Structure 1
Amino acid sequence: MDTGKTFEDLGLSKPLLTAIAAQKYGKPYPIQQEAIPAILSGKDIQGIAKTGSGKTASFVLPILEGFLNKKASRRRNLKVLILVPTRELAMQISEVISAFTENLEDEVKNLAVYGGIKVNQQMVQLKDTEILVATPGRLLDLISSQSVSLGKVETLVLDEADKMLDLGFKEEFGQILKLLPKKRQNLLFSATLDTKIIDLKKEILNDPVTIEITEEEDTLELIKQVAYMVSMDRKGPLLRYIIKNQGITKVLVFTSSIRTADNVCNKLNRNGINASAIHSKKTQSARNKAMLDFKLGKITVLVATDIAARGIDIHFLPCVINYELPRSPKDYVHRIGRTGRAGAMGEAISLVTDEEEQHFYIIQKKMGKRVEKVATEDFDLTGV
């Protein structure tokens, strides 16, 4: 619940408050209001909140406050380990940390490490790193080559822990936990609370503070949802028609497979709409370039699969389009939640075939919201 608190009320020092103001943050989100004081007090945390709820800053800010408080006694070794499921989320968190530390008098070095690039490059960069953001597999690679030690870690953060478990990282978790000091602060964040997360909580958290930020009705109310009923053979032309007719200049398009993502991207480009695709088969440099081009407005459309899109947080994204529906209602809400943020209106469009209509009905039922349907038989899609 929003208590009306400001960042000044949460126990943060002046250097961080200056950094927060420079990043044009307004009032703290609900999870920040609850998590920041609890983390500053040294408590273990279980946070349940979706992507886009402000949770990254909710743990980054108190962690940085801890470094500022220990300025005189600090030694340049690894003190904070942040484990994440995807490369994109690792880079995003690292960028947030860098933004907050850019103008601090005393540098706090952070580094994101993940697969997809040569491990030797990351080995060199590890020197003097105090905050490490890592995917589990690459972290174990670096540990096995004796490039990093976890013996001095004071804070462990598991971000999007439910997604990590879904991706099969349970065994890697076990290996990493054995290498950490037993005395440490643990911060566990997930979008859902299921049996696997409850088991993980029991394994690593000590008398935790539980913070649950539920889906707020007004969040979905900020998103205009519409479903275009269309035959499979007209999906591609309809997508291009919508983008051109509505004058859309920035849109995130979701597909359910790598093959479809590439096909949609190629057809958009052939028809004069600048697009790039990101998925697990793309090289890391290609994914980085696509994300940067999208953020800078060099391309209109970013086509993404669900796994590749996990962790993407683009402020002021006006529109998302489901070219294909996701498997679960939760993933649907996660997808459309990329728009309609920070109090701004957004639009979520789904292209739904007859075969998908029953599944879309289930999504609406779980969401508790009916979506306007638009027939498209009379749309003239020639030449698009």
Structure 2
Amino acid sequence: MSFNDWDLPAPLLQYLQQQGHAQPTPIQQQAIPEVLKGRDLMGIAPTGSGKTLAYALPLLQGLKDIVSKNRQISGLVLVPTRELAEQVGQVIIDLAKQMDRPLITMAVYGGVSVNVQMMNMNKVDILVATPGRLIDLMDSNAVSLAACRVLVMDEADKMLSMGFRDEVDYILNALPQQRQNLLFSATLNPQVEQISGLLLSDPAVIEIKTPKADLSQIKQLGYRVVSEKKGVLLRHLIHKMDMQQVMIFCSSTYQVEHVNDKLNTNGIKSKAIHGKKSQSIRNNNLADFKQGAVTGVQCLVTTDLLARGIDIEFMPYVINYELPRSPKDYIHRIGRTGRADRTGVAISLVSPEEAHHMRIIQKKTGQKVWMEDLEEWNS
């Protein structure tokens, strides 16, 4: 099966080929024809499986002849985070440019001026939005959902786990009864099942199994260290291993700022990213880290906000300054390294209070972490 099997415009097919999309992924193969038929759909597929194209291509094809009225969108893509809103928005914008009549697409999210977004809402066809910011725009009469023909909920499991259920209900109540609904999720949990029952009518159900993560290229190490000496050990390891690019994960925004400040104070150039920083700062800090050879930025300190979806081809080192809450998050974190057929190193700093949790992570993930007990860091 190829993208040529569907009635997509020739320039769009050429663009897909230029971007390296030679063949549709399994979720695309199964979802695109069902969406083109106008069916509701529930797609369960892991992150990185190609879900965005699975709905973006038929969304553009289905709306290509619709002319949206002022501030009345025709398509809505609801996403849980600013980063995903930007990412999805850019994908649809790039695809839309290949159409005879490019559908106007806009991404809106918190952390930036709502006034600027309000002024740019004229004649938008497809809106990619986080729930909170969309409600802000609705309450200001900057956008209406009354003429929306297609609703896409992307990463529904994450959206609901982040506590957006009330916002989602508010948005659903503002949508017209007659519309196509597409729900995509990495996992199928009771919350997703409940909302799918309310949202979808006779849907096509597609489930793509999550492939087992290949961590064979990652050397996993752990250091036992008392909590108050983690910062000193962190800086020691960065110097000793000559880490020129390392992502450091903490469990809270407070700890991210604390670790980042200590690194910079001690002459190690570092940037921080977490949910309380504005989108522009997050973008700039990430760009500085990616261009470390030019900017001199060695470290990026972050929460689990960047454990998935960050676009860095190769990350030599990942350090868990604090352990994640779940074994799954541990896999996502260390999966930032050991990519592109290159080896990587994942290091965990484990305090006595975290020792039991570290054993649980190893048991649940089936990963063996080589633990080192350095006496000088344990007293």
TM normalised by structure 1 equals 0.86
Structure 2 residue identity aligned to 1:48: I
Residue matched to 1:289: 284
Instruction: Indicate whether 1:149 and 2:144 are aligned.
Output: yes
- CA offset at residue 91 of structure 1? 1.3
Structure 2 residue identity aligned to 1:141: D
Query: Retained in 1: the 8 A contact 2:308–2:333?
Result: no
- CA offset at residue 33 of structure 1? 2.8
Query: Retained in 2: the 8 A contact 1:153–1:184?
Result: yes
Structure 1 residue identity aligned to 2:52: T
For 2:247 and 2:139, locate their aligned partners in 1 and report how far apart those are by CA, in whole Å. 38
Instruction: Indicate whether 1:33 and 2:52 are aligned.
Output: no
For 1:345 and 1:6, locate their aligned partners in 2 and report how far apart those are by CA, in whole Å. 33
| Worse overlay, 282-291 or 154-163 | 282-291
Aligned residue among 309, 320, 323 for 1:322: 320
Structure 2 residue identity aligned to 1:185: Q
SS in structure 2 at match of 1:321: strand
- CA offset at residue 359 of structure 1? 0.9
| Worse overlay, 113-122 or 224-233 | 224-233
- CA offset at residue 100 of structure 1? 2.8
Check 1:336–1:49 CA distance in 2 against 1; reply closer, same or farther (3 A cut).
farther
Instruction: Indicate whether 1:54 and 2:50 are aligned.
Output: yes
Instruction: Indicate whether 1:229 and 2:223 are aligned.
Output: yes
For 2:246 and 2:26, locate their aligned partners in 1 and report how far apart those are by CA, in whole Å. 28
For 2:201 and 2:3, locate their aligned partners in 1 and report how far apart those are by CA, in whole Å. 27
- CA offset at residue 312 of structure 1? 3.9
CA distances 1:109-157 after superposition (whole Å, capped 9, x unpaired): 2111112222111101111211111111111111111110101111111
Query: Retained in 2: the 8 A contact 1:261–1:305?
Result: yes
**What is the RMSD computed on CA atoms of the aligned residues?**
2.7
Q: Percent identity?
A: 46
Residue matched to 2:271: 276
For 1:247 and 1:139, locate their aligned partners in 2 and report how far apart those are by CA, in whole Å. 45
- CA offset at residue 178 of structure 1? 1.2
Check 1:163–1:11 CA distance in 2 against 1; reply closer, same or farther (3 A cut).
same
Aligned residue among 109, 130, 133 for 1:138: 133
- CA offset at residue 293 of structure 1? 2.4
Residue matched to 2:14: 18
Structure 1 residue identity aligned to 2:123: D
TM normalised by structure 2 equals 0.87
Check 1:345–1:130 CA distance in 2 against 1; reply closer, same or farther (3 A cut).
farther
SS in structure 2 at match of 1:107: coil
Structure 1: segments with no counterpart, 5+ residues: none
- CA offset at residue 209 of structure 1? 2.2
Check 1:280–1:64 CA distance in 2 against 1; reply closer, same or farther (3 A cut).
same
CA distances 1:233-279 after superposition (whole Å, capped 9, x unpaired): 44223333444444544333211011110111122223333321112
Structure 2 residue identity aligned to 1:179: A
Structure 2 residue identity aligned to 1:370: Q
For 1:127 and 1:342, locate their aligned partners in 2 and report how far apart those are by CA, in whole Å. 42
For 1:344 and 1:104, locate their aligned partners in 2 and report how far apart those are by CA, in whole Å. 38
| Worse overlay, 281-290 or 312-321 | 312-321
Query: Retained in 2: the 8 A contact 1:222–1:344?
Result: no
Instruction: Indicate whether 1:354 and 2:352 are aligned.
Output: yes
- CA offset at residue 344 of structure 1? 6.3
Check 1:349–1:246 CA distance in 2 against 1; reply closer, same or farther (3 A cut).
same
Instruction: Indicate whether 1:238 and 2:233 are aligned.
Output: yes
For 2:13 and 2:246, locate their aligned partners in 1 and report how far apart those are by CA, in whole Å. 33
For 1:280 and 1:347, locate their aligned partners in 2 and report how far apart those are by CA, in whole Å. 26
CA distances 1:47-71 after superposition (whole Å, capped 9, x unpaired): 223333332222222222334xx34
For 2:235 and 2:127, locate their aligned partners in 1 and report how far apart those are by CA, in whole Å. 41
Residue matched to 2:361: 363
Instruction: Indicate whether 1:178 and 2:173 are aligned.
Output: yes
Aligned residue among 96, 100, 108 for 1:101: 96
SS in structure 2 at match of 1:375: strand
